[in-house]
Amino acid sequence: MGISRRSALKAMAVATATTVATTLKPQPTQAAAVVARPDAVGMLYDATRCIGCKACMSACNKANNLPPDTTLSGGLWQMPLDLNERTKNIIKLYKDPATGTRSFVKRQCMHCLDPACVSACMLGALKKGQFGVVSYDPDLCIGCRYCQMSCPFNIPKFEWSKVFPKIVKCEFCKERLAQGQQPGCCEACPTGAVIFGKYTDLLADAHARLAQHPERYVPTIYGESEVGGTQVLYLSHVDFAKLGLPTYSSEPVPTAVRQVFQEIYQGIIPPLALYALLAAVLMRSRRELTGEAHDREEQ
């Protein structure tokens, strides 16, 4: 036990030194164009094909072993108001009272090509890895919630009700992808409103739909350029802003995040050491309590 604690603290100290060195290294102020990695997968959501059945929401909970959020329905059916600690995927309804125009919109992590959450996480709990998926490692997370604050799409949620809270967000069903399966939401959709595929194929598909049916869509693909591009792409007959998808330029957010954090860190190197120590203590306590819980279960 003593050795592992020392190892953990040593590893934390090394990680902190590396983080400080990396963070304080001058960063380029001009954002380079972001290119999807060759193995990048994607999700294309076409709002004109969505009937709001929410099969994708149930499938998402099932794929992620999450209980449905039935709080607002008195325990009767899944009815979250927004993404939350039990909801990684949500279908919302937009309705224009003046014109009667309606549209559904699906929200989940966008799997940004250059994710701000990854840049903001000092301990590497969020990573962009295989297939371009932005995944989360709870064992490296200390609950600082910088990823939440940095996300331009307000995606990561926090388990406020738990003693050791984690971040909750769509990880593109990474376990299913590893087994050659498609994400739960895409598999469940009965109308093909949300489909899974290679990122470049889906982008080409979206362009083809726009070219073939210009009367059906607003003439852009949301996610093609916003914040440098996202692996989740949208087509719609309603302005994206009205659907709650924020308007952004093609400038990746991590550029700004890195600059802000660089300035913050320059003033807080001593507090950062304290932060690292606190992180080590928290992670050690969590491991000990988790170990005690396991011991109790085994007795």
Q: What is the C-alpha to C-alpha distance for residues 273 and 19, in angstroms, rounded to an integer?
A: 11
Instruction: For residue 256, give Cα distances in angstroms to 249, 272, 284.
Output: 13, 20, 33
217 is a contact residue toward ligand SF4 (CB under 6 A):
no
| CA atoms within 13 A of residue 292's CA, in its CB half-sphere | 5
Closest CB to ligand SF4 among 189 and 283? 189
40 is a contact residue toward ligand SF4 (CB under 6 A):
no
Q: How far is the CB of 278 from ligand SF4 (least distance, A)?
A: 24
185 is a contact residue toward ligand SF4 (CB under 6 A):
yes
153 is a contact residue toward ligand SF4 (CB under 6 A):
yes
* Cα 173 versus chain centre, distance: 11
Per-residue contact flags (x/-) with ligand SF4 for residues 247 to 286, judged by CB under 6 A: ----------------------------------------
141 is a contact residue toward ligand SF4 (CB under 6 A):
no
* Cα 236 versus chain centre, distance: 22
Q: What is the C-alpha to C-alpha distance for residues 296 and 299, in angstroms, rounded to an integer?
A: 5
User: Binding residue for ligand SF4 (CB under 6 A) from 184, 223, 228, 229?
Assistant: 184
Per-residue contact flags (x/-) with ligand SF4 for residues 64 to 103, judged by CB under 6 A: x-----------------------xx-x------------
Asked whether 193 and 45 are in contact (CB, 8 A), the reply is: yes
Q: What is the C-alpha to C-alpha distance for residues 223 and 113, in angstroms, rounded to an integer?
A: 10
CA-closest candidate to residue 168, choices 112, 244, 109: 109
Closest CB to ligand SF4 among 238 and 280? 238
Q: How far is the CB of 293 from ligand SF4 (least distance, A)?
A: 27
User: Binding residue for ligand SF4 (CB under 6 A) from 121, 168, 173, 238?
Assistant: 173
Report strand pairing: 41-46 vs 232-235.
parallel
Report strand pairing: 41-46 vs 194-198.
antiparallel
Residues at the site binding ligand SF4, with contacts judged by CB under 6 A:
50-56, 59-60, 63-64, 88-89, 91, 104, 106, 108-112, 115-117, 134, 151, 153, 155-156, 169-170, 172-173, 183-185, 188-189, 191, 193-194
